[in-house]
A and B are shown apart, each in its own frame.
Chain A
Amino acid sequence: MNGMPWLSILTFFPLLGALVVWLLREGNVRLIRGVATFFAVAEMAISLPLWWRMADAEPGFRFVEKVDWIPALGASYHLGLDGISGLLVLLTTVLTAITVIGAYTSVSKRPREFFALLLALETGMIGTFLCLDLLLFYLFWEAMLIPMYLLIGVWGGPRRVYAAVKFFLYTMVGSVLMLVAILWMYFLNKAYTGVATFDLEAFYRLPIDPAVQVWLFLAFALAFAIKVPVFPFHTWLPDAHVEAPTAGSVILAAVLLKMGTYGFVRFAIPLFPQASEQFTPWIVALSIIGIIYGALVAMVQPDLKKLVAYSSVSHLGFSMLGLYAMNPQGFAGSMMQMLNHGVSTGALFLLVGVIYERRHTRMIADFGGLWKPLPVYASVFMIVMLSSIGLPGTNGFVGEFLVLLGAFRTNHWWAVFAATGVILSAVYMLWMFQRVMFGPVTHAENEQLSDLTLRERLVFAPLIVLIFWMGVMPQPFLDRMQPALDRMLELSRERAVASAAAFPQSGAAPASAAAPRDDAAVSAAGGRP
């Protein structure tokens, strides 16, 4: 991109927006919304060309920017984008723009600070996806907590302070150990190559003793597993989701949780292949438990938002399962599932927000027969719900199908157990939908409710387009992510071999186990589903 620092602009443009919004006069709410929308939409516009630029199936990083940052430590300001981070960045910019517009009326308390924080958060999220220097990555990863913490804590529900602090501390416990692991790797690399650097590409070339990998992997995996969240590290999630304001829930579900799965595919799996292999049974077991447990708990929730929150645990279990199937289909399915979950669950939280704004309750029992007063709302809700269930023709189907396919190829039983989650998701979603939308209007207050406004329809329109587009024609998405995913998978295998070769004694047992199980099958499938 002839010298233009596109990725830096993408990363810091929202921060500029946050600053501008923060400097506006507090009273002028319309201006504040307008400026915030301008920055969010402009950011989306800046990011959209990525979609076409990514069509060239280049597996490595592009638009790379690299300058010295802290030469005294060997840290550099290193940004780069591949198919994985590119799609997640697009998801972030689109969802943030939608969230900003969706939050027009729901935020009456201190809108200036609210929108400023939302934009600052966007910088943190995009920075996290784009960083290729681990120190910088960690900086964004943790700095991002601050705006989210404030969004939950200031604009949240009655137990917002508890939820916000819990969110912060949970995430931080995992993160600090990851920082130790990053520093450890830094010194390993320094000892091995003599070069002090936090560069991810350098770490990709560093063979690591499988015995050491175990510790490093555990530290990274804990940080990411808390973020995903993998059962049993999920307990912060329902609190955070329920107490967060709608916009916070949407961003939390749509983007923040993806950082966990992104972390696995970008860091934990390729950097520590043997350890990753060694812990596969554990992670798969936890993912499957998460899928089923999340669904079962979602079923009994009286609160709509909590139901959606637990469905997140279930859906992200699929994403984790796909990753640990360790084959191209599983990876692609996992990645699709990340995007789907961003779109569908984001939309679900927005829908819950819409009804909460009108009725100030989210209890399923307070609704019933909403289809009559709110036909448009109910139709949108139905489409989103069906996509969340994974009905063929919607995006949810593609992701879950690929994950199950990938899991089936690795171990039939994984797929069998995980598939029950699909059935359960239909149970809780349809049952909830029936209780909320169908039948006679049970509460008189609900008869007077007004249907979606034009603004709200505009908010949901792009999401519905995405649901059908990704459901009917997923190939453009797969084309963009597959080369990068294959590269991560390939890297993981190469590094397993290299590490085993470099550390023959301690690597003997795990290395044989880590040998690619189904190389023949992979090449037969041509690396494409």
Chain B
Amino acid sequence: MPFSMPQLLAVDWWALGAVIGLSSGIMLLLLLEFVPAGARSSRSALISIVTLAASGWAVWQVADARRSIFGGMFLHDGMSVFFTLLFVAIGLLSVLLSWDYVKRTRINQAEYYALLLSATLGMILMAASNSLITIFLALELMSLALYIMVGFRRTQLESNEAALKYFLLGAFASGFLLYGIALVYAATGSTDLQRIATVIAGSPLLGSPLLLIGSLLVLTGFAFKVAVVPFHMWTPDAYEGAPTSVTAFMSAGAKAAGFAALLRVLMRALGDVEADWTAILTGVAVLTMTVGNVSALLQSNVKRMLAFSSIAHAGYVLVAVVAGGEAGAAAALFYLTVYAVMNLGAFGVLTLLGRGQEERVQVADFAGLGFRQPLLGLAMTFFMLSLGGIPPTAGFMGKVYVFGAALDQGLVTLVVIGMLNSVISVFYYLRVTVAMYMDDPQGEPVQVSWAAPGAIAIVVTLLLTLWWGVQANGLLDQAQRSVRGLL
């Protein structure tokens, strides 16, 4: 592979703003620990906020530029800008949600925020990568940070179990992915997505088992990261055992990052093998939606329920991926954004429940909450309705757009299955509202640990959930423009 010293223009430096900013932020956070701050200090959180905001701002400056950086390893295009801003937003909201939660649960702040920024950086790089190698590196950067974060409540057994499970299965998945990359490389002689596509196009390679098995293994690796059936087993345990703020962050961010990379690989590199993966992904989408929703019906722990619901939502995004084309990709971007917002909101409400280290996340803990905490109840109600896809919320628009894209491709059966699935999902989402408004609390009512940053995050996510429910045009338009030229 020819390699020369990359020529970076000013615009490239701006485009790398997020990478540079976040890396500096991580180092600053860790270095500052030589001067220990008190357990109640907000130093690390503040630094993270500033870092994230600056990173987002830098990329925003060159949002319209289209560049290929480091010899085509990274792309600065509509999609990477869209995802960078999304991940920065997810990072910001997660920091706000973690602000009080990590203090309350005595989590070491500097390390926590450094890992959060590392994971965010990994996500951003994943979405911007144009080479299987960089995708893998970025994915590992994100995953390693997340493994640790999941196990952060190290004195608690569930957290340890969750981290171990996540790590072991994640390691397997990385192995699959890497092996897949090796096979694809063996078949095509390149790891560059664009070049892979060029090599495959019109060549006899199309039917080559090497390429097929390679792509299948790559798909498997991503399927694990975005938690689709049958590679979803780790999700409920990891989500339940992880600190709630981490669950919020990874459910929104890791999923979106996985899909970003998946979209790039499928549509850019493997576009010509489409017929093969469409059939597989259709089946996987049906399974994912159904298994996710049906399993969620049986949960009494809201964190676990939302874990299964996140699996189901991955299924909805897969429907958009199966639909393919610009409309499908735009629908996936739109849905991932909407999902991130409403899911962060729902988990955000969970982070406020309980005092100190106690976890009050059973459905029963919500009993009577709607009337005791009207704003929190209202927010949770709308998050649940949005996750269920009921208007006037963002989740509804997301479903309209995803299923619309699929219907446009004639995938009527898939759409009907998806729609009926959303009815199943409403049943368990409603259970939370039933508890909040219609049940009387048993035992000691749950305490709410209000804190300004968390409240701000919840209000922001609530407003976005409602705004995109009644006026989604801006986001839709953005998603459509971001995928233009992707194919």
Contacts and interface: CB of A to CB of B under 8 A. Distances in A.
B419 interface: yes
Given A168-B426, A173-B423, A143 B391 contact: yes
A223 B423 CA distance: 13
Given A72-B477, A161-B438, A172-B423, A143 B415 contact: no
Given A164-B438, A187-B404, 6 more contacts: A72-B473, A73-B476, A135-B400, A139-B396, A164-B434, A176-B422
B423 to A, nearest CB: 5
A220 to B, nearest CB: 14
A408 B401 CA distance: 46
Interface in A150-169: 150, 153-154, 160-161, 164-165, 168-169
Interface string B469-482: 01111001100100
Interface in A10-27: none
A489 B385 CA distance: 38
Contacts of A184: 407, 412
Interface string B296-309: 00000000000000
A416 interface: no
Contacts of B438: 153-154, 160-161, 164
Interface in A417-457: none
Interface string A97-121: 0000000000000100100000000
B408 interface: yes
12 contacts: A69-B473, A71-B473, A72-B476, A72-B480, A143-B390, A153-B434, A154-B438, A160-B438, A161-B434, A180-B403, A183-B400, A187-B404
Contacts of B422: 176
Nearest to B399: A179
B355 to A, nearest CB: 25
Nearest to B435: A161
Contacts of B415: 180, 183
A142 interface: yes
B404 A183 contact: yes
Nearest to A160: B438
Given A139-B392, A139-B396, A177 B416 contact: yes
A264 interface: no
A468 interface: no
B427 interface: yes
Contacts of B172: none
A146 B426 contact: no
Interface in A172-227: 172-173, 176-177, 179-180, 183-184, 186-187
Contact of B423 (A70, A71, A153, A169): A169
A146 to B, nearest CB: 7
List the 7 shortest-distance A-B pairs measured between CB atoms, nearest first.
Answer: A72-B476, A176-B419, A139-B391, A70-B473, A143-B391, A153-B438, A72-B477
B407 A180 contact: yes
Interface string B425-438: 01100100110011
Contacts of A173: 420, 423
A138 B391 contact: yes
A179 B391 CA distance: 12
Contact of B426 (A140, A143, A161, A172): A172
Interface of B: 371, 385, 390-392, 396, 400-401, 403-404, 407-408, 412, 415-416, 419-420, 422-423, 426-427, 430, 433-434, 437-439, 470-473, 476-477, 480
A186 B407 CA distance: 10
Chain A at the B interface: mostly helix, strand, loop or mixed?
A: helix
B437 A154 contact: yes
Contacts of A142: 390-391, 396
Most chain B beta carbons < 10 A, residue from A72, A113, A140, A168: A72
Interface string A48-73: 00000000000000000000011111
A386 B77 CA distance: 72
A32 B415 CA distance: 45
A151 to B, nearest CB: 11
A36 interface: no
Contacts of B476: 70, 72-73
A350 interface: no
Contact of A70 (B416, B420, B434, B471): B471
Nearest to A170: B423
Contacts of B408: 187
Nearest to B439: A161
A142 B385 CA distance: 11
Contacts of B391: 138-140, 142-143
B434 A186 contact: no
Nearest to B470: A139
Interface in A364-387: none
Contacts of B480: 72
B404 A186 contact: yes
A406 B28 CA distance: 82
B407 A183 contact: yes
Contacts of A153: 433-434, 437-438
Contacts of B401: 73
Contact of A180 (B416, B427, B437, B472): B416
B427 A179 contact: no
Given A153-B438, A165-B430, A146 B403 contact: no
A145 interface: yes
Contacts of B404: 73, 183, 186-187
